[in-house]
Amino acid sequence: MSIRVLVVDDSALFRKLLQQKLEKEDDIRVVGAAGDAMEARSMIKALDPDVVTLDIEMPGMDGLSFLEKIMTLRPTPVIVVSGSAQEGAMATAKALQLGATHCYAKSGVGRTIRDDDGGELARLVREAAALDFSSGGRTAGATGIAQTNPLASVPELDWKSSPSLIAIGSSTGGVEALHELLADFPSNCPPTVIVQHINGNFSKAIAASLDQNSPARVMTAHHDLKLEPGIVAMAPDNSKHLTIAPSVNDGFRCVLRSDDHVSGHRPSVDVLFDSVATYAGQGATGILLTGMGQDGAKGLLAMAKAGARTIAQDEASCVVFGMPRAAIALGAAREILPLESIAGCTFAYRRKAA
């Protein structure tokens, strides 16, 4: 069965170009194209599309306001299609916070909307279509998870109430989750590093959006950035992996590496977590949030084996339970917590006395 897509864009040219990209695929069918929010609302009711691509820079009712209405009245997977200029990037960051599942840049470095995107838009549509919004925007997944127990011989350490370093991985639904999580971080939180799977055109805008919502200082990482208390550093783009290494004096610094993709991604959560396991060990805390696929599961296991505290977001609070589910199945997560509890438990943790 084909994935049914509604294209919403105020430009007739962009509607045509987006439709042409999608209809090259045998499993995707564009069932309608709307030029504004009013027309799109009628088409959503009449056509019941599986996925909506939404231009958020439209006249009349802007895309952000329309997105809020969609998520409130008729939850549907929405891919934000936007320019990567500063204004468009900031609006895209807000859209992801409001519940859009993915973002797609109309243009990028060395690419315009007319150019071949390597199937990126089609891939995003397929991922969005896999989400089950009939259950409140969450994916329906089996609750029973067969787990291995590779940590049976690894003793639970008496972790400090505040770790020396926090590493976070997330993907689909992650921007929304990071907004909620980082809002509960203290301003003097331990140095924190994040890999969020996202189009690199929007990384700076997303970091700026998170910074506005968090007591800590959120920024995109750069090579050799000293990781200090109160600093949250997010992987900057899709050209390099984010890792950590010891700083010259003490603590840690960011290291950006232009290696090949790992677990299908660059930056990869596995690569980040592996470096944290190597250099921060039992002083670190690893947190794996909502996301599609398995990136981060093996890295979280490496952290757990090194003595770190490891946390996976629970199924009920995930938009997509894929990444946490994979980590839990490996036995990598020492704790499985709802999103709203993760920050509080991270900074107030005490192991129960024996």
Catalytic residue selected from 82, 164, 171, 275 = 171
Annotated catalytic, 197?
yes
Q: What is the 3-state secondary structure (H, E, C) of the chain?
A: CCEEEEEECCCHHHHHHHHHHHCCCCCEEEEEEECCHHHHHHHHHHHCCCEEEEECCCCCCCHHHHHHHHHHHCCCCEEEEECCCHHHHHHHHHHHHHCCCEEEECCECCECCCCCCCCHHHHHHHHHHCCCHHHCCCCCCCCCCCCCCCCCCCCCCCCCCCCCEEEEEECCCHHHHHHHHHHCCCCCCCCEEEEECCCHHHHHHHHHHHHHHCCCEEEECCCCCEECCCEEEECCCCCCEEEEEECCCCCEEEEEECCCCECCECCCHHHHHHHHHHHCHHHEEEEECCCCCCCCHHHHHHHHHCCCEEEEECHHHCCCCHHHHHHHHHCCCCEEECHHHHHHHHHHCCCCCC
Catalytic residue selected from 9, 55, 274, 295 = 295
Catalytic residue selected from 179, 197, 241, 265 = 197
Annotated catalytic, 295?
yes
Annotated catalytic, 265?
no
Point out the residues that are catalytic.
171, 197, 295
